[in-house]
């Protein structure tokens, strides 16, 4: 896991999961560009990393537009001479049910998560190709993008789109030795403490209580630090042949999300009329419908 002489940009890394990723990359030797919209938050993150013997600088700017993406890449090159790793973590929430979600709610979330991932990855890849010795793209997705989540049309759509882009980039960038992977973490952060059944466990954790095994294993949720190791692994030479994958990580659990596959297939000579579908629906597809939303242990949901 030696990342000495590697340089990483981690968007949205002033606190929470992004800071955990940046600190772990620095612990393994990488120089890190910290990004946040708040100068004091970014400076504090840089100070924490440098105090531990790491190397870090801050670029304060909102992720989404091309100008910020270029500032981030330039910040890495100006401070450390190159760029090797782009981790797109920056995100916001504007949760509302569909009929109450405004255009601004939708555009703000998609702009940071989806467009911000696209612009930052594009600028990083331009630099990687110029350097000519590969690179690592690590994009942060979410279980909400894999299975949906109530009140998160914008967030689920953006996170699903990120995984779709990663699979495309894995094909486009393979010849250049650039890997692209997605990580879908679950951790106790400001984003998850709003989930009602998780809130008591997160409050307890803040008071020094350990998370129970049912949370760390079956729910797959832990601290931000629990989700950081996969980032450093994917940034390392050990993961040089891993690309186009979506990982689930949190607590004690590490897993791979499957690519979408056809789960039930039937054929009708001459094609399918509405009447044909109705006549054969129950026998052909009735037992094959997919569930929606995350599925949690019943004992947690009953509390």
Distances (CA, A) of 132 to 8, 20, 154, 251, 291: 16, 29, 36, 37, 44
Indicate the burial class of 96 (C-beta count within 10 angstroms; 0-12, 13-18, 19 or more): middle
CA 109, 37, 188, 100 torsion: positive or negative? negative
Is 155 a residue of the active site? yes
Would residue 100 show up in a list of annotated catalytic residues for this protein?
no
Choosing from 23, 71, 142, 160, the catalytic residue is 142
Q: Which of 13, 71, 155, 232 is catalytic?
A: 155
CA distance 18 to 62: 14
What length does the chain have? 303
Pairing relationship of beta strands 55-60 and 7-10 according to DSSP bridges = unpaired
Closest to 142 measured CA to CA, from 98, 105, 89: 89
Q: Which of 21, 23, 159, 232 is catalytic?
A: 159
Per the CB < 8 A criterion, the answer to whether 186 and 143 are in contact is yes
CA gap 170, 120 in Å, rounded? 16
71 annotated active-site: no
- Nearest to 87, CA basis, from 37, 28, 35: 35
Q: Which of 218, 226, 183 is nearest to 295 (CA)?
A: 218
Residues designated as active site: 142, 155, 159
């Amino acid at each position: 896991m030696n990342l000495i002489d590697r340089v990483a940009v981690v968007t949205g890394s002033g606190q929470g999961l992004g800071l955990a990723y940046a600190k772990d990359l620095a612990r393994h030797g990488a120089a890190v560009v910290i990004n946040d919209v708040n100068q004091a938050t970014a400076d504090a993150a840089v100070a924490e990393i440098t105090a531990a013997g790491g190397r870090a600088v801050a670029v304060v700017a909102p992720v989404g537009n091309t100008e910020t993406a270029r500032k981030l890449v330039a910040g890495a090159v100006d401070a450390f001479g190159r760029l090797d790793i782009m981790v797109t973590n920056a995100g916001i929430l504007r949760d509302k049910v569909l009929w109450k979600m405004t255009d601004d709610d939708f555009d703000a979330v998609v702009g940071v998560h989806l467009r911000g991932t696209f612009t930052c990855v594009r600028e990083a890849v331009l630099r990687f190709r110029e350097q000519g010795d590969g690179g690592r793209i690590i994009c942060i997705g979410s279980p909400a993008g894999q299975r949906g989540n109530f009140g998160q049309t914008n967030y689920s759509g953006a996170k699903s789109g990120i995984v779709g882009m990663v699979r495309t980039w894995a094909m486009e960038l393979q010849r250049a030795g650039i890997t692209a992977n997605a990580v879908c973490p679950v951790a106790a952060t400001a984003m998850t403490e709003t989930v009602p059944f998780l809130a008591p466990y997160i409050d307890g954790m803040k008071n020094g209580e350990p998370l129970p095994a049912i949370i760390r294993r079956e729910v797959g949720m832990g601290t931000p630090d629990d989700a950081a190791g996969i980032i450093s692994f994917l940034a390392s030479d050990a993961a040089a042949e891993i690309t186009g994958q979506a990982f689930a990580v949190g607590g004690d659990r590490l897993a791979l999300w499957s690519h979408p596959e056809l789960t039930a297939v039937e054929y009708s000579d001459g094609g399918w009329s509405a009447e044909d579908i109705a006549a054969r629906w129950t026998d052909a597809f009735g037992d094959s419908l997919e569930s929606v939303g995350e599925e949690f242990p019943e004992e947690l949901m009953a509390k």
